[in-house]
Amino acid sequence: MTSDDRTRVGDPRGTRMLGWVTALTGLVAIVAVVALAFMGHSEAAIATGAVGTSATAVGGLQITVNVRH
């Protein structure tokens, strides 16, 4: 019989890495938007900001599924 204890043993490496990738994506998007805006490419800056925002939003989503038999 399986245990009903749901205490996490440790934080998996992938979960921590996802947080870093999400933060880095947001930072790179901000830097790119500022650089493109200073160079006069406002349309590209808006598109880059939208892509960075959506990547950051998706990266912050975590779904946990517990299957019981």
The pLDDT of residue 69 is: 64
Handedness of CA 32, 44, 36, 57 (dihedral sign): negative
Establish how many alpha carbons lie within 13 A of residue 13's alpha carbon, considering only the half-sphere containing its beta carbon. Answer: 0
Going from N- to C-terminal start, the domains of the chain cover 28-58
CB neighbour burial string for 33-48, b if at least 16 within 10 angstroms, e if fewer: beebeeeeeeeebeeb
What number is the average pLDDT over the span 40-64?
A: 80
State pLDDT tens for residues 3-43: 666 666 666 666 677 777 877 888 888 889 999 889 999 89
How far, in Å, CA of 68 to CA of 3, rounded? 11
How far, in Å, CA of 48 to CA of 53, rounded? 8
